[in-house]
Amino acid sequence: MRYADGPSVACELDVAAEAGRVWRLVTDIGVPARFSPELRRVRWLGEAAGPAIGAEFEGHNENPVLGTWRTIATVVEFDEPRAFAWAVADPDGRFGEVTGDPMATWRFGVEPAPGGVRVHHSVRVGPARSGLSLAIDRWPDKEEALLRHRLADLRAGMEQTLLGIKSLAGDPAS
């Protein structure tokens, strides 16, 4: 596994709630900030008041190893009520040269499931540099192990977010 290959991780969770309620939660950019171990706060930029293709939002992140950083995310997929995705950029060059490529692309998918909906959450890392790139620069012989560790951290955060959505949606099993 190599960073240049765009490694990804995904998880899913069934939610016993009305599809429209769950859709509103997955498209509310503030929800992941409530449950993520890194994303601290977000806000829509410009005239954007909600998700739409091309809308942008700013995120503020914190990690015990990397410190704090800011991102700008652009909505790249919005297919109500099925898919919501955004590409994250490093506008300040914190991790290297600013390019037009994303550091990561995040996605929620929602599909009907018995008793409610199944929510998919995924992330694809790269191709632009990120905090992970700094570690790979320092320890290139450990790239695969670093990627496995980071993807496991991202998966744990996504699982926390999905459990938070399940709870906010009023799923009796949460």
Q: Write out pLDDT tens, residues 34-56.
A: 999 999 999 999 987 789 999 99
Centre a 10 Å sphere on the Cβ of residue 128 and count the other Cβ atoms it contains: 20
Sign of CA dihedral 53, 73, 129, 151: negative
Measure the CA–CA gap between 41 and 33, rounded to whole angstroms. Answer: 6
d(CA 117, CA 109): 10
Q: Within 10 Å of residue 5's Cβ, how many Cβ atoms? A: 12
Q: Model pTM?
A: 0.94
At position 83, the amino acid (one-letter code) is A
Residues of the chain with pLDDT under 70: none
d(CA 77, CA 75): 6
**Domain assignments of the chain as residue spans, ordered by start:** 3-168
CATH of domain 3-168: 3.30.530.20
